[in-house]
Structures are given as C-alpha cells and as structure tokens.
C-alpha cells in the first residue's frame, strides 16, 4: 500500500516540478521563511510604501526588525512570482508602494487558512511537544 502511495506522490511531484526553482518548491520555501508570510499578511491589509511596511513588520514580528535589503529581496521575489505589484509615482522624489495582486491575495488567503488550522490545534501541538521533550535524548 505505501509503495503505491509513494508512486502516486512521485507522479504528482513530477507533474508539478521537482527542480529547485519549480513554483511549488519556490513558493513553499518562501512561505516557510522568516518574513514572507508576514509580508503577505500585512500587504493583504492594503498597499504600503517600503519604509512604512518595514516599520509595521518590525512592530508585528518577534524578530523585531527586517533590514531594508532583506525586505527588498523578499518583495522582489514576491513580485517575480506575480504575488506583489510595485507602483512608482511620478512625484519627485518618486514614491514606491507595494500591493498584493489577485494571485497574491489568493496566496495570502491560503496562508491565513493554514494559520487558522495551526491555531485550532495549538493545544495538541503543545501536548505533542511536551511528550517529545519529556523523552530526553534518544
């Protein structure tokens, strides 16, 4: 039975790409990093200018602050994959703002669903951790 399930999993993975830059791998990697999900959730509240986005991320994050460079890299990665749109005004100096695209709104919604799933199971996760941590060294 498990061999059949592994074969089905392998076929599914082959269909959607196993290369490092395949969207399924790259997007899951983005969602699993320190900042991207929080960036998506903040941008889901509306458009933000770079400096304002950086300040609100620092306020909301347990990590306290994100460097300008890292924020720029994360926004570029999200823009490259079509999740974020960058807008530059004609003002002098130009004003740059970021917002979610329709694709990004969908991804943010899925991230929020996953967060909700985790929150609904917080007690079970804590209990499993306590059991595991109580086992000592293996």
pLDDT band at 138 (very low <50, low <70, confident <90, very high): low
CATH number of the domain within which 42 lies: 1.10.10.10
Residue 10 belongs to some domain of the structure: no
Q: Taking Cα atoms as reference points, which of 42, 35, 99 lies closest to residue 64?
A: 35
| Spatial distance between the Cα atoms of 83 and 99, rounded to a whole number of angstroms | 9
Token pair recorded at residue 45 = 């509240």
Alpha-carbon distance of 77 to 74, in angstroms, equals: 5
Distance CA 103, CA 82 (A): 7
Report the domain count for the chain: 1
Full domain range(s) for residue 50 = 21-134
Q: Write out pLDDT tens, residues 53-111.
A: 999 999 999 888 999 999 999 999 999 999 999 999 888 888 899 999 999 999 999 99
pLDDT at 1 over 80: no
């Amino acid at each position: 039975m498990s061999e059949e399930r592994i074969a089905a999993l392998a076929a599914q993975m082959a269909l959607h790409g196993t290369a490092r830059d395949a969207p399924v791998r790259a997007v899951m990697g983005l969602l699993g990093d320190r900042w991207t999900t929080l960036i998506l959730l903040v941008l889901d509240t509306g458009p933000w200018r770079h400096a304002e986005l950086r300040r609100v991320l620092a306020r909301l994050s347990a990590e306290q602050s994100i460097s300008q460079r890292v924020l720029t890299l994360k926004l570029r990665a999200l823009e490259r994959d079509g999740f974020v749109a960058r807008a530059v005004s004609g003002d002098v100096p130009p004003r740059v703002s970021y917002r979610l695209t329709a694709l990004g709104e969908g991804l943010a919604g899925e991230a929020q669903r996953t967060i909700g799933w985790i929150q609904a199971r917080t007690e079970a996760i804590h209990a499993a951790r306590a059991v595991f941590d109580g086992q000592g060294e293996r």
